[in-house]
Structure 1
Amino acid sequence: MAEILARTVEATRRYGAVTALDRVSLDIRAGELVGLLGPNGAGKSTLVNLFAGLRRPTSGTVELLGGSPQDPVRRRGIGVTPQETGLPPALRVGECVDFVAAHFPEAVSREALLERFGLGDLVRRQIGGLSGGQKRRLAVALAFVGNPRLVFLDEPTTGLDVEARHALWDAIRDFHAGGGTVVLTSHYLEEIEALAERVVVIGEGRVLTDDTMDAVRGLVGVRRVTLTGPGLPDLPGVLGVEHEGSRTHLLTADADALVRELVLAGVPFSGLEIRPTSLEEAFLTITTREPQTA
């Protein structure tokens, strides 16, 4: 098995009465490209902050590169792009890169870094004059300046157009192909699908699933069948049931087969609606019906 670079064991993080993470245990191994997928507020950023040493767990433990995330020596081996960044507007792009690089003993050269992220022609531009997308690309590039072993990217493509997003994906792939380890958060399945090999889905502060991309794709195929009717019999292929007033919501991987079963069973119903579930709906409904493993 590859070396574990980062780990949480039963990590919980609370902010007052709010539990942002609830007993999360997770290993990140060398060479992985892990996608943390989940809706806004699911706990993804809190998890990244624990790994990066920016927050401490309320309970449980967090390890980074074999030690504490609070240890500056350990943190020198990682790069981080938080969800929100504030870069000094008066500095030029090249000056900002040089400033960050000065904190690392084996920094990537300014020219190579800016070229990798398509920022070479902006080296003398003041940060305050950059577009939102250009600032975001610079914030992501700075995560790689220290030649890290492990990079945490929290919603890295926020504010980027399609072309810039794909260029950033290519830079992340190049880093990973060279042996780098990446943890990438997003609430966009498309982004995780384009990059990740392993997918961890977070919802309501818990790990809902930790599996391959193929397994996640299968769950995304779940459909929500909604109808109004009396008590329904047990039906094959139903993954989850929710009741909302007179309406019943059934989750299934085969909506056509489920409707046929309803008709064959002679169940009276009205107001039939079929639509795709959101990823959040699918995972929350399915996982709450099955025993959680530690």
Structure 2
Amino acid sequence: MRLFSSSPRWGFSKATDWGLKVFTQEGSEEVPPFTATRLLAAVWLLASLVFMSSYGGILTAMLTVPRVTIPIDSLADLVAQDELPWTVEKSSMMYQYFQVTEAEDGARKKFFDDLLTTIQDCYSARQDIASSQYAAICDRTTMKKAMSWDYSTTGKCHLYISREDVFTNIQIAMAFQINSTYLRRTNTLSVRSFIELRCQLWINKNHCGSVSSCRIHVLKEAGILDLWLAQEITNASQCLRPPSADRSTGIAALTIDALAGSFLLLGGGLAASIAIFLLEVALKRR
């Protein structure tokens, strides 16, 4: 190969080996001879640096998990800020809980002292909560139902449940109307033998006192209540994911558009090399 009427001392194998080392960003102590070949080597070094840096940066960006900081994720976070007011259901168990314990704990005391107002119930106030008029202390089932309504109506999630529970010691029970026909059927479930056995274990272990009270615990343990709630409250799972899960999941292949700049540089380099090669052939024939 001739360039600017100069004969390089490197052979084809040596030049190819040096070019691959540059492309893979490996070091080399040898430098191409003559000014013309060094000029081509400098262009190749620059193109390889841009190409590999762009490729590595895109791969790193795709593998990076975004960190989302949630400003309010507990009762302490709620009372520590002054931009979003808070409320609780009127005459509810939670209102009485804060009223009784407000003098025993700093966060609970501040919550009750700075209480904006009270609401009738959380589901009726779901629109105000979704529009960030205030934050509310609600039970998880009601909030999941509100999330289902919000996602089904708008297609987006405007509600969030904090990770830290305000109150966890809640008794589980199933309520029926007086003289309801479902009460007898509930007490005589088709899985009665399993429930009776589990309830006997509950009575012996936890001193429940009666089989009726233990049936609820067994239904909860067996996942029947969770299954029923999942069937009744749809679309809530879309809004129960962490904020960082909103990004696309799975491994996505790199497209040509993502590496368009690098391919343009590569194409320009190939075009320049072809032009120089044709120029060399034309000058040699003359």
> Is TM (by shorter chain) over 0.5?
no
TM-score bracket relative to the smaller structure: under 0.3
Superposition TM-score, scaled by structure 1 size = 0.25
Larger Rg: 2
Larger helix proportion of the pair: 2
Superposition TM-score, scaled by structure 2 size = 0.25
